[in-house]
């Protein structure tokens, strides 16, 4: 609008008034003055340019200008703002405080067995999984799979729609189709109906299935779990009670549904705390390197078929016989037998999942002889998984014979995982109507008529048993993102009452089944709150009163059978193992797990044909570390008339003349992340020899393949990075760790000292308690919004993990000692990174944290170069996914999502520290010891990582740092790391022929 008019001079107004005739009405002096400016003002009072419309020429100009302006205005609107509706809570949910997370108890169920967890929920969005301290199989810790469940929940590639022959259909159509399909079967008593599920421990689901089978007596229920556990014979072991452990290919800390509890139990005897329990001793006979083998005090790597013979020889040696059957291992077995006898009643023999029933029977026999039953071993009545292979074989035969007309597959992917000799896929095509419930539109979904998207565990009501029988009622954290259904709802769809929700079904089961005791409502609430059903009835029948004696051992016959024929062991042996990262393939589309360096190989994004260095050399395999990844030879694995091509990788400590392959790769329809990675080991696996077999031929193809391996050097190079001693050495010289290094005096610096008057955060990592399981790595990734970078970037050395588990070998390459060392940021008091950053983007906090200021970082990478621990990670590209909506939901809202071009690293979970500090300040107290747990410490099954205030002498971390085993990695550089390590102590039997190579880290001077 025009500017206000200055009144014209009064003389002019007077003149005009004098000239006027009659009465003049005026509103203002301006009007009175009658100036041209006032007339213009009147004309233009309303919209600017309005007057232009009256003038034909002006109008044209006006339109021209307006048109151009509109066109240009459009240019500024390139980013259209999303239309958003704000709906305030009418009634706020109970306990919901913005910015304050809530925790709900539920469980993750991976192979049928539950591990109790607490899930952190921010404003209704689950963001992080923690262990449930009340759950006996979790004890507050988790494993990598549980940590990654969050990413699977938000996986944008999950199946999102119910389809019939690939076309989208509503749930109602499905119900109708199921109703008529089942009705058609009713006449024949359901003889053509087959249910195929994974291992089911859910009491509700078992009830539902039994109910269904009762109405259709001809129907069959098959359970298929490709990676087991298949041999849950009701054995329950108490590792913490055993002074001596013998594992016959049993990877109890690295695999199996009880691994978290067992790792805790094992490490509880390795803490070396004054007044604590005495150290245990672990013997491992194994056919492929495993985490348990890495922890062993004595380890014997043999071919899979030899485990049986070794076990027999041990039994024979206990009988006083000479282990003559085992040339080369007599001394080992004899010393072991002596030690076993010495620890009778306090020892424990475990047979591994990968061994045939005969070895399990031998283990049972050994425990019996040694009097361990009732002490370290008990037998309980967990529903056994049954003979999965036999069951699947039967189903395949039925399908082939045309006896199956309705197949309902729930939560398993047999087209991909079934043993290759069953030709499952082709036979399944003969079934008239095929229904699939699954998280993904996977290989099986592709071949089924109906596909129903499955609700993720965190979206579902349900229940499940843990490996010890403990029942957890699963509660959803969030409504199904994609309208997924649970197995309960699927089964209900086959019955007369199809419209029930999972909540109703589960509640009804517990209400009518009476498993929760008297006051149902109260007990239900309590069970949901605790994440554990405490009523005795829920625990199944208690421990069996009498353990079977040796004579009644079910597998007594195979024990008596002759040892494996020598002819069969000619040539190479092939061993199958579930993948440590993607398990049987179900986690193939979870980026965190794909990028998780597998223990012992540090391989990511691929599987490989693992073999011993000697076998690799014999086959002429060469591996080269390059700047674009580790290149290796592609080999053709020919086995029982089938062949796959796989990259070969030598692993120290692998038994000779054996090749180990991991299942779970070579997926065709895993999703955008997991499809087409690695090779499919299932293509070699037959139902008669699921875990190992002889007759493998390996031939180089002449082609090379690039693997993304995060650690390429396994030798300590004589450096004192990892310090270790034997138990005897430790007892003789508790200060051995300090003697292995050189700690410069505090006066040796030119920079002024920092003063830490309040808190001084620090961390102690007990190398004796680290089992190398990787749970901390994924926990860190989940907590700190760490991006996944992909195979190519990992191969180029650009992985982003803030915490890595370093792994070193000492001793001979055939049988090395393995040490794990988790390496987070050291938060050095004299940090080399801080002084070199030109823009002061990494600075020291007054509590001793080495803070990283993302906003200020320009990305010179000098800090990373100057970090002797190489814990800094750089965003070479825009690694974080800023686009995918579902992934945004899962991020930790307390942690910045980093952009391209900035450095990042471990913060000691500063967001948790700040949270606790604020809380403590509000309550006018100091932060209590243990109140802050970093994500890694919280996840750790071995409680190897302890975090706290080192200024508080009573804190756990201060106590550990006062332990004589405590040392700083590379402390000779005078970096004064806040993260320190407690040296490893191994407990070898001095009578054994293989003594640890030990003393990694010879005394040196910086």
Partner 1 sequence: MATRPPEPRGDLARDALPPPPGAELLGGDHTLASVTEKIASITLTRRTPWGWFLGFAISFTLFMGLLWAVVNLLFVGIGVWGPNVPVGWGFDIINLVWWIGIGHAGTLISAILLLFRQQWRTSINRFAEAMTLFAVACAVFYPVFHTGRPWLAVYWLFPYPNTMGLWPQFRSPLIWDVFAISTYGLVSALFWFVGLIPDFATLRDRARSKPWKIAYGMLAMGWRGSARHWHNYDTAYLLLAGLATPLVISVHSVVSLDFAVGIVPGWHATIFPPYFVAGAIYAGFAMVLTLAIPLRKFYGLEDFITMRHLENMAKVMLATGLIVAYGYMVETFMAWYSANEYERFMIWNRMTGPYWPMYAALILCNVVMINTLWVKNLRTSVPYLFFISFVVSVGMWLERYVIIVTSLHRDFLPSSWGMYSGTAYDWSAFVGTIGLFLTLFFLFIRFLPVISIFEMRSILPEAEAKENA
Interface residue list for partner 1 (CB under 8 A): 625-628, 711-719, 721, 793, 796-798, 804, 806-808, 821, 823, 832, 834-840, 856-862, 864-866, 868-870, 872-878, 900-903, 969-970, 973, 1004-1006
C-beta neighbour count of 79 within 10 angstroms: 6
Q: How far is the CB of 855 from partner 1 (least distance, A)?
A: 10
Q: How far is the CB of 807 from partner 1 (least distance, A)?
A: 7
Closest CB to partner 1 among residues 112, 824? 824
Closest CB to partner 1 among residues 342, 856? 856
Q: How far is the CB of 905 from partner 1 (least distance, A)?
A: 10
What sections of 79-202 are H helices per DSSP?
144-153, 171-186
Q: How far is the CB of 856 from partner 1 (least distance, A)?
A: 7
User: With 0-12 CB in 10 A as exposed, 13-18 as middle and 19+ as buried, what is 4?
Assistant: exposed
Closest CB to partner 1 among residues 735, 900? 900
Q: Which residues pair with 572 in a beta bridge?
A: 696
What sections of 628-726 are H helices per DSSP?
none
Closest CB to partner 1 among residues 724, 821? 821
Which pair of tokens denotes residue 865?
């170069």
Q: How far is the CB of 539 from partner 1 (least distance, A)?
A: 44
Closest CB to partner 1 among residues 502, 716? 716
- Contact between 930 and 956 under an 8 Å Cβ cutoff? The reply is yes
CA distance 73 to 65: 12
Q: Which residues pair with 103 in a beta bridge?
A: 120
Q: How far is the CB of 1001 from partner 1 (least distance, A)?
A: 11
CA distance 989 to 978: 35
SS3 letters for 365-405?
HHHHHCCCECCCEEECCCCCCCCHHHHHHHHHHHHHCCCCC
DSSP state for residue 550 in the 8-state scheme: G
Residue burial 985-998, b: 16+ Cβ < 10 Å; e: rest: bbbbbeebebbbeb
Closest CB to partner 1 among residues 68, 625? 625
Closest CB to partner 1 among residues 569, 818? 818
Q: How far is the CB of 71 from partner 1 (least distance, A)?
A: 27
- Contact between 127 and 892 under an 8 Å Cβ cutoff? The reply is yes
CA distance 481 to 458: 10
| DSSP notation for 29-48 | HHHHHT-HHHHHHHHTSSST
Angle at the Cα of 450 from the Cα atoms of 448 and 453, rounded to 5 degrees: 105
What sections of 329-486 are H helices per DSSP?
330-342, 357-369, 388-400, 414-417, 424-428, 443-446
- As a whole number of Å, the end-to-end CA separation of the chain is 78
Q: In Å, what is the CA distance from 41 to each residue of 5, 30, 32, 53, 656?
A: 8, 10, 13, 16, 99
Q: How far is the CB of 916 from partner 1 (least distance, A)?
A: 28
Q: How far is the CB of 82 from partner 1 (least distance, A)?
A: 25
Q: How far is the CB of 847 from partner 1 (least distance, A)?
A: 20
Closest CB to partner 1 among residues 556, 970? 970
Closest CB to partner 1 among residues 62, 854? 854
Closest CB to partner 1 among residues 721, 910? 721
CA distance 710 to 494: 49
Cα dihedral sign, 702-704-707-713: positive
Residue with tokens 């309980």: 380
Residue 762 sits at φ, ψ, to 5 deg, of -155, 170
Which pair of tokens denotes residue 179?
């109703």
Gyration radius of the chain over CA positions: 34
Closest CB to partner 1 among residues 761, 809? 809
Closest CB to partner 1 among residues 322, 878? 878
- Contact between 684 and 661 under an 8 Å Cβ cutoff? The reply is yes
Q: How far is the CB of 901 from partner 1 (least distance, A)?
A: 3
Which pair of tokens denotes residue 810?
């000492």
Q: How far is the CB of 877 from partner 1 (least distance, A)?
A: 4
Most distant CA pair in the chain: distance in Å?
143
Closest CB to partner 1 among residues 492, 833? 833
Q: In Å, what is the CA distance from 429 to each residue of 183, 406, 412, 435, 741?
A: 22, 11, 17, 12, 66
Closest CB to partner 1 among residues 200, 722? 722
Closest CB to partner 1 among residues 829, 834? 834
Closest CB to partner 1 among residues 905, 912? 905
Closest CB to partner 1 among residues 126, 599? 599
Q: How far is the CB of 713 from partner 1 (least distance, A)?
A: 4
Q: How far is the CB of 631 from partner 1 (least distance, A)?
A: 11
Q: How far is the CB of 997 from partner 1 (least distance, A)?
A: 16
- Contact between 30 and 7 under an 8 Å Cβ cutoff? The reply is yes
Q: Which residues pair with 610 in a beta bridge?
A: 649, 660
Q: Is cis: bond before 229, omega within 30 of 0? A: yes
* CB contact set of 139 (below 8 Å; sequence gap of 6+): 131, 133, 260, 261, 264, 941
- Contact between 225 and 385 under an 8 Å Cβ cutoff? The reply is yes
Q: How far is the CB of 801 from partner 1 (least distance, A)?
A: 11
Q: How far is the CB of 836 from partner 1 (least distance, A)?
A: 5
Q: How far is the CB of 624 from partner 1 (least distance, A)?
A: 9
| DSSP notation for 515-568 | TT-S-HHHHHHHHHHHSS--SGGGG-S-S-SSPPPGGG-TTHHHHHSPPPPGGG
Closest CB to partner 1 among residues 341, 711? 711
- Contact between 585 and 412 under an 8 Å Cβ cutoff? The reply is no
* CB contact set of 99 (below 8 Å; sequence gap of 6+): 893
């Amino acid at each position: 609008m025009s500017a206000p008019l200055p009144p014209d001079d009064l003389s002019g107004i007077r003149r005009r008034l004098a000239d006027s005739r009659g009465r003049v009405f005026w509103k203002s002096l301006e009007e009175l003055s009658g100036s041209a400016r006032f007339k213009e003002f009147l004309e233009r009072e309303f919209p600017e340019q309005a007057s232009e419309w009256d003038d034909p020429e002006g109008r044209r100009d006006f339109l021209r200008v307006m048109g151009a302006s509109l066109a240009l205005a459009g240019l500024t609107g390139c980013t259209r703002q999303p239309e958003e509706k704000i709906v305030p809570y009418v009634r706020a949910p109970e306990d919901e405080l913005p910015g304050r997370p809530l925790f709900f108890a539920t469980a993750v169920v991976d192979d049928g067995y539950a591990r109790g967890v607490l899930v952190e929920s921010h404003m209704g969005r689950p963001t992080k999984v923690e262990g449930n301290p009340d759950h006996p199989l979790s004890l507050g810790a988790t494993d990598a799979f549980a940590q990654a469940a969050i990413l699977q929940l938000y996986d944008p590639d999950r199946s999102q729609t119910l389809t019939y022959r690939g076309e989208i259909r509503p749930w109602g159509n499905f119900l109708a189709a199921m109703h008529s399909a089942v009705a058609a079967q009713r006449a024949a008593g359901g003889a053509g109906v087959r249910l195929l599920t994974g291992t089911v421990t859910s009491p509700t689901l078992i009830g539902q299935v039994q109910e269904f089978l009762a109405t259709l007596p001809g129907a069959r229920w098959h359970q298929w779990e490709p990676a087991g556990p298949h041999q849950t014979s009701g054995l329950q072991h108490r590792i913490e009670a055993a002074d001596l452990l013998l594992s016959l290919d049993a990877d109890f800390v690295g695999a199996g549904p009880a691994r978290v509890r067992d790792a805790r139990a094992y490490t509880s005897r390795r803490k070396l705390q004054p007044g604590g329990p005495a150290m245990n001793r672990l013997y491992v006979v194994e056919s492929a390197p495993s985490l348990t083998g890495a922890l062993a005090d004595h380890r014997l790597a043999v071919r899979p078929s030899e485990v049986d013979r070794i076990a027999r020889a041990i039994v024979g040696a206990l009988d006083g016989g000479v282990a003559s059957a085992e040339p080369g291992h007599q001394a080992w077995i004899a010393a072991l037998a002596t030690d076993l006898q010495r620890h009778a009643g306090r020892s424990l023999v475990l047979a591994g999942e990968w061994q045939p029933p005969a070895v399990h029977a031998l283990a049972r026999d050994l425990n019996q002889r040694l009097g361990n039953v009732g002490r370290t071993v008990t037998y309980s009545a967990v529903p056994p998984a049954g003979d999965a292979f036999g069951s699947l074989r039967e189903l395949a035969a039925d399908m082939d014979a045309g006896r199956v007309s309705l197949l309902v597959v729930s939560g398993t992917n047999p087209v991909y995982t079934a043993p290759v000799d069953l030709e499952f896929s082709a036979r399944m095509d003969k079934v008239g109507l095929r229904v699939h419930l699954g998280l993904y539109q996977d290989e099986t979904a592709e071949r089924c008529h109906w596909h129903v998207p499955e609700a993720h565990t965190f979206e579902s009501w349900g229940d499940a048993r843990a490996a010890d029988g403990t029942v957890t009622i699963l509660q959803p954290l969030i409504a199904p993102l994609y309208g997924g259904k649970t197995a309960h709802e699927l089964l209900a769809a086959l019955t007369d009452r199809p419209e029930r929700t999972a909540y109703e079904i589960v509640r009804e089961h517990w209400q009518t089944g009476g498993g929760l005791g008297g006051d149902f409502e109260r007990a239900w609430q309590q069970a949901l709150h605790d994440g554990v059903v405490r009523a005795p009835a829920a625990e199944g029948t208690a421990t069996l009163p009498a353990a079977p004696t040796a004579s009644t051992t079910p597998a007594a016959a195979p024990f008596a059978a002759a040892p494996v024929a020598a002819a069969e062991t000619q040539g190479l042996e092939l061993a199958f193992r579930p993948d440590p990262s993607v398990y049987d393939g179900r986690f193939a589309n979870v980026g965190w797990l794909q990028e998780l360096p597998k223990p012992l190989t540090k391989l990511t994004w691929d599987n490989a044909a693992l073999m011993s260095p000697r076998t690799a050399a014999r086959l002429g395999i060469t591996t080269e570390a390059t700047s674009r990844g580790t290149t290796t030879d592609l080999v053709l694995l020919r086995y029982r008339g089938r062949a796959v091509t796989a990259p070969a990788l030598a692993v120290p400590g692998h038994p000779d003349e054996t090749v180990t392959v991991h299942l779970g790769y070579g997926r065709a329809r895993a999703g955008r992340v997991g499809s087409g990675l690695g090779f499919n080991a299932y293509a070699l696996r037959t139902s008669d020899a699921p875990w190992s077999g002889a007759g493998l031929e390996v031939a180089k193809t002449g082609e090379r393949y690039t693997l993304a391996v995060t650690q390429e050097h396994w030798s300590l190079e004589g450096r004192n990075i990892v310090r270790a001693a034997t138990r005897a050495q430790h007892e003789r010289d508790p200060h051995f760790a300090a003697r292995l290094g050189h700690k410069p005096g505090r006066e040796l610096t030119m920079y002024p000292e920092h003063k830490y008057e309040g808190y001084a955060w620090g961390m102690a990592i007990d190398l004796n308690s680290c089992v190398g399981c990787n749970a901390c790595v994924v926990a860190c990734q989940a907590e700190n919004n760490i991006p996944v970078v992909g195979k190519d970037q990992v191969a180029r050395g650009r992985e982003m993990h803030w915490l890595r588990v370093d792994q070193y070998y000492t001793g001979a390459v055939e049988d090395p000692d393995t040490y794990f060392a988790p390496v987070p940021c050291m938060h050095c008091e004299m940090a080399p990174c801080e002084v070199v950053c030109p823009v002061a983007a990494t600075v020291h906090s007054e509590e001793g944290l080495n803070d990283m200021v993302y906003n200020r970082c320009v990305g010179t990478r000098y800090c990373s170069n100057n970090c002797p621990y190489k814990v800094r990670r750089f965003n070479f590209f825009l690694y974080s996914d800023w686009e995918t909506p579902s992934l945004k939901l899962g991020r930790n809202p307390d942690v910045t999502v980093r952009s391209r071009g900035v450095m990042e690293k471990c913060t000691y979970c500063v967001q948790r520290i700040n949270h606790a500090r604020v809380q403590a300040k509000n309550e006018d107290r100091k932060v209590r010891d243990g109140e802050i747990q970093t994500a890694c410490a919280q996840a750790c099954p071995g409680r190897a990582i302890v975090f706290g205030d080192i200024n508080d002498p009573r804190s756990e971390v201060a106590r550990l740092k006062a332990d004589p085993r405590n040392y700083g990695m590379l402390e000779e550089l005078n970096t004064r790391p806040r993260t320190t390590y407690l040296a490893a102590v191994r407990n070898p039997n001095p009578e054994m022929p293989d003594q640890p190579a030990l003393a990694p880290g010879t005394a040196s001077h910086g």
